[in-house]
Amino acid sequence: MENSKGNEDGYSEECRDFYLAALRLCSFKLEKISNETVKKLHELKTKYSFGEKEEAKSNEPKTPEKSNPAEEIRRLNSAKNWSETPKFRLSLSSNFPPEMPPVACLKGLIGNCSKPFEKQLTESDVKSNQCRLSLNKIDVQNAVNPLLKEEDDPTEGIPVKVYDSNGKEYPMTFITWCSKIHVLKEGWINFCNDHGLVAYQDFVTLWVFRNKKTGGLCFVITSRRLEVFEAIKRRKLN
Listing DSSP states for 61-100 in one string gives PPPPPP--HHHHHHHHHT-S--TTS-TT--TTSSEE--SS
Question: Is 64 a member of any domain?
Answer: yes
Question: Is 205 a member of any domain?
Answer: yes
CATH number (domain holding residue 58): 2.40.330.10
Question: Is 19 a member of any domain?
Answer: no
Question: Is 18 a member of any domain?
Answer: no
CA distance 190 to 120: 18
What's the one-letter identity of residue 29? K
**204: which strand partners?**
119, 223
| Measured CA distances, 164 to 48, 64, 102, 189, 220 (Å) | 15, 36, 10, 13, 6
Question: Is 102 a member of any domain?
Answer: yes
- With a threshold of 0.85, does the pTM exceed it? no
Question: Residue 49 is part of which domain span?
Answer: 31-225
- The pLDDT of residue 228: 83
Question: Is 10 a member of any domain?
Answer: no
- The pLDDT of residue 4: 45
- The pLDDT of residue 86: 43
Question: Is 16 a member of any domain?
Answer: no
Successive 10-residue mean pLDDT values, the chain, 238 residues:
49 66 62 60 48 42 52 49 42 72 95 95 90 94 96 96 97 93 94 95 96 97 91 68
